[in-house]
Structure 1
Amino acid sequence: MNKTLKLMITALTLTISMGVFTACGNNSGVKENEEKDVSTKTITTDELSKNIKDENWVVVDTRENDAFNGWKLDGVKRGGHIEGATDFSAAWLDVNAENKEERLEKDLKDRGISKEKNIVLYDANGKDASEVANYLSEKGYENLYTYDVKEWTEDDKNAMKSYENYEMLVPVSWVKDLIDGNKPEGYSGKEFKIFEVSWGEEKDSPDYLKKGHIKGAVHINTDEVEEGPVWNRLSDEKLKAFAKANGITVDTTVVLYGEDTTPAARVATILKYLGVKDVRLINGGTQKWIDAGYELEKESNPKQSVSDFGAEVPVNKDYIIDLDEVKKIYNDKSTTTLVDVRNWDEYIGKISGYDYIKTTGRIEGALWGHAGTKAGMDQYRNIDNTMLNEDQILKMWSDYGITPDKKLVFYCGTGWRAAEALYYADVMGIKDITLYDGGWNEWSGNTGNPANPIEKGEPKK
């Protein structure tokens, strides 16, 4: 086939395809997207405003999860997401994960993104929405629209929503700016420290030295903040010494991350308990840094100590509580909810989840707060290990009777998973929250002979 004839046929095909959309009807303010995939249409701000509350429409933020949470990325005037929107990030499509398609299908279903609805996909870089549109189109979705959220952010009358404490969960681009000396959004300009957190000595860490770490990051072994056999946090004085040994004061901006976010969250909650004012977790951990194309270094960075923490500890003593406090409040269901952040089999007493914990079951009256399908926290995270959106977390809780109008006491086996759930609750702005440090390990008595009231089996509705 010669080049001229091929071009004529291509042009005719595009004309016919666009004509199909025109024949199906075109709402005022909506036009076919000639510059992108012909299976999508653009929508105006006025038309979006009219339809955003219509149950037949769903508005989807396709940007990085950090932008949805509240960060001003890609040149938008205001951070956060369009009020009423859900999320389905284009970044999720590039993740190499087990059961990827199954997880993405669940994400679509959980967010009400269905073939029967008109779907508005928005971004601020001209790429993310198109990638998600192509993905959905291949799955048979037809009523697809794209929108540039920059237009929405220009007018303050257009409602947007950010998490109250979104700054606690930072994008990797924010950390890169911090390292490069570019003052990022929300940074006070005081001293900062970056730590990679995992269990075990630095020399034994498969990630810190072998895989590499963020430039300048110092390694923290979780044994620096807790000890067995219960694995409660160390005494206040020892924790204060830990902070000073790592060069941390109440005024230090502390950035924590790891291959897995859970141990980093464990240290983050302890630092907040001590009184550090500015504690941040990297949203998505090490892999998001790699995905962004940023380099890792492999040389060891020594700890640099300080002589004074700057406050009497703990400043925020109610951020973590112990067995005596839990015994006082666990029966008061009218004002307090014990949130069990373990997997379902642990919660119903089928397994303990730990080779050193013999007793199975849960604290009497505790409600299931979810955790992971196995031993992790995937039920609190997107497929790229970023924080699950607020609506999904609250729905997950409410299905089992957990509501943020009560005091929420999070616990797990030994404090790690519950720390991540607590941290996300803090990011969302939930006020009356705390971590029960000893968790099931302490409450159960550990040995097979329950020390305190427990339950087993599926809870009554």
Structure 2
Amino acid sequence: MKITRKIWAVFFIMMLSLVLAACSGKEDTSSKEAPKEEAKSVQTITSDELQSNLDKKDWVVVDTRITDAYNGWKLEGVERGGHIKGAVDFSATWLTVDAKDKEKQLEAALKDKGITSDKNVVLYDANGKDAKAVAAFLTDKGFKNLYTFDVNEWASTKDLAMESYPNYEMLVPAAWVNDLIKNENNGKPYKIFEASWGDEAPDYKKGHIPSAVHINTDEVEEGPVWNRLKDPALEKFALNNGITTDTTVVLYGSDSMPAYRVAVILKYMGVKDVRVLNGGFTAWSNAGYDIDKKDNAKTAGTEFGATVPANPGYIIDLPQAKEILADKEGSILVDIRSWDEFTGKISGYDYIEAKGRPAGSVWGHAGSDNSNLQDFRNIDSTMKNGQEILAMWEKDGITPDKNLSFYCGTGWRAAEVLFYADVMGLEHISLYDGGWNEWSMDPSNPVETGAPSK
């Protein structure tokens, strides 16, 4: 009996040890799994590590700052402006945009930029916030190999390559406009204009940038063709608004398209320093700067300072458009309208009856209708990545080495794209002002419809 009890006691102790070991084993397994969870979290990366992986196909480097910083502006104390050479852009500000198809647009942006979950994704910023916001967004989408990086580390090392658009200064951030107002352009003449159609200016009256004056686009163009005004009338427009060739002119709007229209005409006239607020009034209001509701009156001037036009090749007319079409090897007339307008399914305008395109023109993309340019704008209405624009064009032979003249229905959409092309540093560029409206008015002008044959 005693032996049996001893055996049972030993057996009990053995079983208890096994149970404790099993429990201990579970705890050990849990502690070993913790690093796996850590590996899934966002990690940091050094300049050396980033440089060694920069050109690898399974890595993508993403600038999460505002688009202006990517374009070339030195913001948030960064020593050099522009982006890390080879980086794509996906701004944290895009995540805060109020748009009904926001998710669809963000997904499309990820795809266009090659930001996919099978890659190692490096997200960089200068404020320690933007990269984290984008990392959280991507984590929710199942991305696991995420890294953050402080671009200050890269920008402070001169031999590490950074890129900017050649004429990035033409597109300005809200911070630059705010500084312009505060320091009064260092004593040099400047004007800020809200550009939109009509004298009523409802958006201007709701609130505008301090000191801004309203420009009605009827001040620079007239129907029925809706070409720019004749040169003497344009000079009068400049004098009415106190604009000279040496005035720094900043243009913006709730929709930026009219601002680009006026900007291009001013450059044609000879104004040397023409700027457009990237992202329009929304960029200003989102930045939290002061908003004025006072109706600021125009201040007239007495002299423009040059014979209009001082830059005549920037805008061309029907005869030059025909010359471009005739030069099939070196020039392209680029259609900045929707596909349905280009192919002749619709005219796109209630006051243009004819459908189709000038024979020989090439589709350069636009948007779904004549009120938007989604193929050239980010979700926050800032300028889209220039490399993506060039890649989109290259498929149809629209390349920077050629003489490119952009047209649309009446010059608004094409003016915006011309301005972007200028920002990107393209040199042989112009606006065909009359566009489809003027071309279609003469039945002797050759017209095409349908998809072009390859």
Q: Which TM-score applies when normalising by structure 1?
A: 0.90
CA deviations 1:73-110 (Å, max 9, x no partner) are: 01110000000000000000000012100000000000
Go from structure 1 to structure 2 and tell me whether the alpha carbon gap of 1:55 and 1:182 turns closer, same or farther (over 3 Å shift): farther
* Equivalent residue number for residue 426 of structure 1: 422
Go from structure 1 to structure 2 and tell me whether the alpha carbon gap of 1:64 and 1:105 turns closer, same or farther (over 3 Å shift): same
Shift of residue 346, structure 1, vs aligned partner? 0.3
Percent identical across equivalent pairs? Answer: 61
Distance 1:338 1:61 in 2: 33
1:392 maps to which of 385, 388, 392: 388
* Equivalent residue number for residue 275 of structure 1: 270
* Equivalent residue number for residue 179 of structure 1: 181
* Equivalent residue number for residue 33 of structure 1: none
Aligned to 1:104, what secondary structure does the other structure show? helix
Distance 2:358 2:308 in 1: 29
1:121–1:146 contact (8 Å) kept in structure 2? yes
1:191 maps to which of 189, 192, 196: 189
1:236 aligns with 2:231: yes
Shift of residue 298, structure 1, vs aligned partner? 1.2
1:403 aligns with 2:396: no
Where in structure 1 do 4 or more consecutive aligned residues deviate above 3 Å? 14-18
1:359–1:450 contact (8 Å) kept in structure 2? no
1:339–1:410 contact (8 Å) kept in structure 2? yes
Distance 1:48 1:18 in 2: 26
1:443–1:451 contact (8 Å) kept in structure 2? no
Distance 2:219 2:430 in 1: 21
Go from structure 1 to structure 2 and tell me whether the alpha carbon gap of 1:17 and 1:229 turns closer, same or farther (over 3 Å shift): farther
How many residue pairs match? The answer is 426
Distance 1:219 1:273 in 2: 20
2:447 maps to which of 448, 451, 454: 454
* Equivalent residue number for residue 36 of structure 2: 20
Distance 2:180 2:100 in 1: 33
* Equivalent residue number for residue 84 of structure 2: 82
Distance 2:106 2:417 in 1: 22
2:324–2:333 contact (8 Å) kept in structure 1? no
Structure 1 counterpart of 2:193, one-letter code: F
Distance 2:143 2:261 in 1: 41
Runs of 5+ in structure 1 lacking a partner?
Answer: 1-11, 25-37
1:414 maps to which of 403, 406, 410: 410
Please list, as runs of the form range in 1=range in 2, the aligned pairs for 1:322-341 lying within 5 A after superposition.
Answer: 322-341=317-336
* Equivalent residue number for residue 287 of structure 2: 292
Distance 1:40 1:148 in 2: 14
Higher relative helix content: 2
Structure 2 counterpart of 1:194, one-letter code: I
1:441 aligns with 2:443: no
CA deviations 1:156-208 (Å, max 9, x no partner) are: 1000000000000000010011111276xxxx75111000000000xx22201
Shift of residue 21, structure 1, vs aligned partner? 5.7
CA deviations 1:366-415 (Å, max 9, x no partner) are: 11111112221121100000000111111121122211110001000000
Please list, as runs of the form range in 1=range in 2, the aligned pairs for 1:242-321 lying within 5 A after superposition.
Answer: 242-321=237-316
Please list, as runs of the form range in 1=range in 2, the aligned pairs for 1:40-79 lying within 5 A after superposition.
Answer: 40-79=42-81
CA deviations 1:17-45 (Å, max 9, x no partner) are: 761167x6xxxxxxxxxxxxx71000000
2:334–2:405 contact (8 Å) kept in structure 1? yes
Shift of residue 333, structure 1, vs aligned partner? 1.4
Aligned to 2:326, what secondary structure does the other structure show? coil
Distance 1:99 1:105 in 2: 10
1:379 aligns with 2:372: no
CA deviations 1:278-314 (Å, max 9, x no partner) are: 0000000011111111232111100001100011111
Please list, as runs of the form range in 1=range in 2, the aligned pairs for 1:156-235 lying within 5 A after superposition.
Answer: 156-181=158-183, 189-201=187-199, 204-209=200-205, 211-235=206-230
CA deviations 1:199-225 (Å, max 9, x no partner) are: 000xx222011x211000000000000
Distance 2:82 2:423 in 1: 13
Structure 1 counterpart of 2:43, one-letter code: K
CA deviations 1:121-172 (Å, max 9, x no partner) are: 0000000000000000000000000000000001110000000000000000
Shift of residue 443, structure 1, vs aligned partner? 0.4
Distance 2:328 2:158 in 1: 42
CA deviations 1:242-286 (Å, max 9, x no partner) are: 001100000000000001111100000000000000000000001
Distance 2:130 2:350 in 1: 44
Q: Provide the aligned C-alpha RMSD in A.
A: 1.7
Aligned to 2:218, what secondary structure does the other structure show? helix
1:57–1:117 contact (8 Å) kept in structure 2? yes
Runs of 5+ in structure 2 lacking a partner?
Answer: 1-27
Distance 1:272 1:99 in 2: 35
Structure 1 counterpart of 2:445, one-letter code: N
Range with bigger deviation, 105-114 or 319-328: 319-328
* Equivalent residue number for residue 24 of structure 2: none
CA deviations 1:300-329 (Å, max 9, x no partner) are: 100001100011111100000001111222
Range with bigger deviation, 374-383 or 407-416: 374-383
Larger radius of gyration: 2
1:284–1:386 contact (8 Å) kept in structure 2? yes
Distance 2:73 2:31 in 1: 40
Distance 1:279 1:49 in 2: 37
Structure 2 counterpart of 1:245, one-letter code: N
2:324–2:332 contact (8 Å) kept in structure 1? no
Go from structure 1 to structure 2 and tell me whether the alpha carbon gap of 1:15 and 1:276 turns closer, same or farther (over 3 Å shift): farther
Distance 1:63 1:404 in 2: 27
1:360 maps to which of 349, 355, 361: 355
1:251–1:277 contact (8 Å) kept in structure 2? yes
Shift of residue 16, structure 1, vs aligned partner? 6.9
* Equivalent residue number for residue 107 of structure 1: 109
